[in-house]
Chain A
């Protein structure tokens, strides 16, 4: 690959840093729209990352993608069984999922530490990809970058333009009424949780197969939690999730870029920027009642037991 210049390479890195955040957050958005709060995103991402990585070593990154999704779905179903079928506390169960996921990923990944991974290839379209600047940005990404954007658009369309989306939002806003109208609150929520799990697993797989093709324990580094904050930040709207994910990607990469300049700013301060920015963003959004109240799913986190 020829030298593109520094600014371009920063832009390209921002896109790869934002994609996992977007994938995980758009999945969690659907989960929360159905009224379920799954705090296990970090754990599902970690298991997705390690399963994707391990599978990609043998079968290549494209099979790895599916392994990552499957791992996320399986873990999320465990969460769904507890919170939906056994009506356990969603906050506590989500935390349990994160702790278990981080544990499992560490155990599975013992043999993978230090191994070079299989990297997801970037697409190449003759002529288009060769356009200076625009080519590599718009026609030279890996498939998951395009997929994450298409998925965001699709989620926005389904949630607000289709009957399925209406049912999901009804279940999240008033499970009693949705149940009375004959919609299966529990099945809808199972499906949404599984969707969110798949997205989180995929986001993890993206980290270990595209962002940094290697396995390091705790490599998710809080991105699952940042994704959760993004959903709040976006006040449960898909378009804003995409904007938010790219803003956060930008903050974390600009931190790294400043680091390489060696301005004498401690690297730890720059590394902590995304976490601090997350807190600031949460404060700004949460302080704005009008924004949050309009879109917060009314039944978010509340248990539902159908009366027969």
Chain B
């Protein structure tokens, strides 16, 4: 038995949208098997993990609304970063250091409340957000510059900078930026009032709106503007892009500034809401999970928004599973990894039609 791939005459539009659905289905089946091996009732475990966070949708019980809001709050940074990465990956610009840009954004933006703790005005909030975006961009400019000037692989440089950003944050919160009245805990002062994002009812904050706005804006940009067209051409066919006079270097800069800025915004928004101060760890790996979001969302900003909700469930479900099933929340990362594998496998059906050949083919000697 062997597997043969037959190239489709044109790529299958149905599979583009069916592939993520199949991938999620296969991930759930795999999840059931893992749960069964762990001695759990698979159906019950799947319910606790993947459906309980959404309970409000059919109970409408006010008590259940909380987890839905949590879902939106966790999806927001994923969608923001995922949208930026979608555009980058479409252009074949492989920024995989969004986690570092998120950290840099959080650090830059937090410089304001740390250095001027007394300053409280609406401008504080705006400046913090702007600094966050600029911080992410600054961090992303390093791999972009090194790629364009020296041809250094942006994959490796952007990833190395994740570690550097993490260590920089660690140094700041243990050293110069540590809260003097904080009993030596590695954290800055707690932010307050205008140093925090306004929230609707305690959990849900306006940071979730940023994600929606970014997705809408990027959809217009990619679908209706010359820049979007340029990005798509350069990604699909670098040669055609060159002949059209589109600049590859310009695309690298554009993609890194965009995805870095959005990651920075996600970082400062996290610090200004859920976290409320700087501390050694400010993100459960949103920058890496956003890579999965980008692929699950078909490298489309609106798709990333939907995909972010799906992956936010994996975080929430992980927490729920730890409490009520007594399994480690580390299983969340396993599900996320499995999901990306299934997406990539199913995506090969967009371009190829798989055929299983059962009879033994005669020894394949090339015709030439």
A interface, CB within 8 angstroms of B: 39, 78, 82, 85-89, 91-93, 95-97, 99-104, 106-107, 110, 179-180, 182, 217, 221-222, 225-226, 228-229, 232, 266, 268-269, 271-272, 275-276, 278-279, 282-283, 286-287, 289, 292, 305, 308
Contacts and interface: CB of A to CB of B under 8 A. Distances in A.
A86 B346 CA distance: 9
B150 A283 contact: yes
B153 A286 contact: yes
Given A89-B344, A100-B340, A107 B146 contact: no
Contact of B163 (A92, A228, A272): A272
Contacts of B89: 92
B152 interface: yes
Contacts of B156: 225, 228-229, 232, 278-279, 282
Interface in B108-163: 142, 146, 149-153, 155-157, 159-161, 163
Contacts of A217: 330
Interface residues of B, number: 54
Contact of A91 (B5, B155, B345, B366): B155
B93 to A, nearest CB: 11
Contacts, number: 150
A107 B37 CA distance: 14
B167 A225 contact: no
Counting from the closest, the 7 A-B pairs by CB-CB distance are A100-B337, A103-B333, A268-B171, A86-B348, A103-B334, A106-B330, A96-B340
A182 B351 CA distance: 26
B338 interface: yes
B340 A283 contact: no
Contact of B337 (A85, A87, A103): A103
A141 B148 CA distance: 43
B3 A85 contact: yes
B61 interface: no
Interface of B: 3-5, 7, 89, 94, 96, 142, 146, 149-153, 155-157, 159-161, 163-164, 167-168, 170-171, 175, 288, 291-292, 295, 328, 330-338, 340-341, 344-345, 347-348, 351-352, 354, 364-366, 368
B338 A282 contact: no
Contact of A275 (B96, B160, B337, B344): B160
B344 A82 contact: yes
A104 B337 contact: yes
A275 B352 contact: no
Contact of B167 (A101, A272, A308): A272
Nearest to B365: A182
A101 B330 CA distance: 12
B146 A279 contact: yes
A39 B167 CA distance: 23
Nearest to A91: B94
B341 A82 contact: yes
B29 to A, nearest CB: 16
A39 B341 contact: no
Given A86-B352, A97-B337, A282-B146, 5 more contacts: A82-B341, A82-B345, A92-B340, A232-B156, A279-B157
